[in-house]
Amino acid sequence: MKRTFLAVNVSDETRQLIVSLHQELHFSKQYIRFVSPKTVHVTLKFLGDVKTEIIPDIIANIESSIRSIQKFDYICSGTGVFPNVNKPRILWLGITKGSDILAGISKTLNQALVNMPVKKEDREFRSHITLGRIKETRKSLPDIDRFTKYSFDPIVNHVDQIILYESILTSQGAIHKPLHKFLLK
């Protein structure tokens, strides 16, 4: 079994912004588990644990469903939390321009894999880049207000491929190993 997901990468400029954000806001690692700037991405579909032998079928289904998708750009702009500021669980970097394209691709991937033994998505897709997960809910976490008001110039990210990743969980965090790259037109 392999824990897998489909994603698009972020630009080096976006990764640098995340490093700067960590340095400027001094988040407490005691309460927040951060995603390494090296591994941040935009998840399009989480497949969950899949049997290794069905991965070629997953790849074939995806290949045929995304044939017409062209390269595109999305813009990172703004920060926020899920589900809300009163009970934050996820810290995220927002996506403005291009979020509709990402949502459309996510829907296409869900449809392509509807008959495959993969995790079914219950929630509506929301374009974002996960920066961290809050370990324990507290009434007031330091810097959450500063985080949600953090200002930066919008960053353009170019997408020319969708990647099927294996996520290997370790005590130091997840390692994302590319299993297949789907090139866009």
**Per-residue pLDDT tens over the stretch 79-92:** 999 998 888 899 99
Is this structure's pTM higher than 0.85? yes
Q: Tell which residue, 172, 156, 152, 66, has the closest CA to residue 110.
A: 66
CATH superfamily of 2-183: Cyclic phosphodiesterase (3.90.1140.10)
Strand order in the sheet with 161-170: 41-50, 2-9, 161-170, 173-183
26 three-state secondary structure:
coil
Give the amino acid at 27.
Answer: F
User: For all residues of the chain together, what is the average pLDDT?
Assistant: 92
For the cut 80, the answer to whether the pLDDT of residue 29 exceeds it is no
For the cut 70, the answer to whether the pLDDT of residue 138 exceeds it is no
Q: 120 or 59: which carries more pLDDT confidence?
A: 59
pLDDT at residue 80 in the model: 95
Q: Which residues contact 15 (CB under 8 A, 6 or more apart)?
A: 37, 38, 40
For the cut 80, the answer to whether the pLDDT of residue 145 exceeds it is yes
DSSP-assigned letter for residue 2? E
